[in-house]
């Protein structure tokens, strides 16, 4: 591959899941100086986001380690899943991605709803996990997630996304992300990121996600021995009011304190979409966990 035809997010690949579905992945090989003990960094996007949401983070991380992004079923360039998109199933898919790029070790990075996915995947195979970086993650310690107000807001957001997608207008809400992305990633977003299938997948994922997460309040994944860095946004916005922001950040601090090797960081200039507004904070925290 020449510099002319190289994509910002690397080499395209297909991962076959345990039930035969195909997930689209892209990877950057990392520096030639990296040895076999250097963890491979694998990114998990938020609820309705694709691999493209990591375009300002992944290339910078690839200066230090192999860096992999992928699309969950029904998002980006991955076909929909006819089955239930439970939190447990999404964690299984992530572990299938890790199997494909084995042997590891792996450092997992999850944004928003991707946070619980990487936590559960790591707890199922802690032997190959070098660390977690949770970027403004959804966390079961934030009680408002399970109240009627949040669930109404979530349903309204998904319904609005569905209408805008049918009208071809959903991309208008994401102009800032498209403009901030490298040109090839911006083209990917316009082509893949805002069709009606995205809203259908969001609805499919949301059907059981919060109920599964609520069960973690009494029985969380056993990931406390894995090094964890939790990054909070420092500002309200991106759908989070000041009360929700304060509660989320308290939950994030608790998550870091619970880990045997935990670190808590605030991205002071960011609301929820830290990969877009302060990617350098994420890059710094990832590289700090690399050997």
What does the pLDDT look like over 124-136, one tens digit per residue?
Answer: 999 999 999 999 9
pLDDT confidence of residue 223: 85
CA gap 131, 187 in Å, rounded: 32
Lowest mean pLDDT among 91-100, 151-160, 180-189, 211-220: 151-160
Residue 204 in this model has a pLDDT that exceeds 60: yes
Task: Identify the CATH homologous superfamily for domain 11-289.
Answer: Alpha/Beta hydrolase fold, catalytic domain (3.40.50.1820)
pLDDT digits (tens, 9 = 90+) for 45-96: 999 999 999 999 999 999 999 999 999 999 999 999 998 999 999 999 999 9
Question: Is the distance from CB of 28 to CB of 94 less than 8 angstroms?
Answer: no
Where are the domains positioned within the chain? Answer: 11-289
Question: Is the distance from CB of 49 to CB of 75 less than 8 angstroms?
Answer: yes
CA gap 159, 280 in Å, rounded: 33
Q: pTM of the entire structure?
A: 0.96
Residues 35, 66, 281, 182: is their CA dihedral positive or negative?
Answer: positive
Higher pLDDT, 241 or 130: 130
pLDDT digits (tens, 9 = 90+) for 252-281: 999 999 998 999 999 999 999 999 999 999
pLDDT confidence of residue 46: 97
pLDDT confidence of residue 290: 96
Give percent of the chain with pLDDT exceeding 90: 85
pLDDT confidence of residue 5: 66
Residue 148 in this model has a pLDDT that exceeds 90: no
Quickly list DSSP for 181-227: S-HHHHHHHHHHSSSHHHHHHHHHHHHHHHHHHHHTTTS--S-TTS-
Query: Quick one: how far is CA 17 from the chain centroid?
Result: 18
As a residue count, the chain comes to 291
Average pLDDT, the chain: 95
What band does 209 get if pLDDT is binned at 50, 70 and 90? very high
Residue 287 in this model has a pLDDT that exceeds 90: yes
Question: Is the distance from CB of 53 to CB of 275 less than 8 angstroms?
Answer: yes
Q: Token pair of 282, please? A: 């994420």
Q: Which are the contacts of 85, defined by CB distance < 8 A and separation ≥ 6?
A: 72, 73, 74, 201, 204, 205, 207
């Amino acid at each position: 591959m020449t510099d002319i035809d190289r994509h910002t997010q690397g080499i395209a690949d297909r991962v076959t899941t345990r039930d035969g579905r195909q997930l689209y992945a892209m990877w950057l090989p990392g520096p030639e100086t990296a040895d076999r003990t250097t963890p491979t960094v694998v990114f998990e996007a938020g609820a309705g986001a694709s691999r493209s949401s990591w375009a300002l983070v992944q290339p910078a991380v690839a200066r230090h380690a192999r860096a992999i992004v992928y699309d969950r079923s029904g998002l980006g360039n991955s076909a929909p899943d006819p089955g239930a998109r439970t939190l447990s199933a999404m964690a299984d898919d992530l572990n299938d991605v890790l199997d494909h790029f084995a042997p590891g070790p792996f450092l997992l990075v999850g944004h928003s709803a991707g946070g619980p996915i990487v936590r559960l995947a790591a707890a199922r195979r802690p032997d190959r996990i070098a660390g977690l970086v949770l970027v403004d993650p959804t966390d079961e310690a934030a009680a408002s997630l399970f109240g009627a107000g949040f669930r109404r807001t979530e349903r309204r957001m998904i319904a609005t996304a569905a209408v805008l997608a049918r009208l071809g207008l959903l991309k208008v809400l994401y102009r800032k992300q498209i403009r901030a992305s490298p040109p090839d990633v911006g083209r990917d977003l316009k082509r893949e990121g805002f069709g009606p299938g995205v809203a259908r997948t969001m609805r499919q994922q949301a059907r059981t996600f919060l109920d599964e997460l609520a069960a973690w309040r009494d029985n969380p994944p056993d990931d406390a021995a894995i090094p964890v860095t939790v990054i909070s946004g420092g500002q309200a916005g991106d759908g989070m009011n000041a009360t929700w922001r304060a509660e989320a950040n308290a939950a994030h601090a608790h998550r870091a304190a619970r880990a045997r090797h935990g670190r808590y960081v605030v991205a002071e200039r960011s609301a929820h979409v830290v990969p877009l507004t302060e990617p350098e904070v994420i890059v710094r925290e990832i590289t700090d966990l690399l050997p």
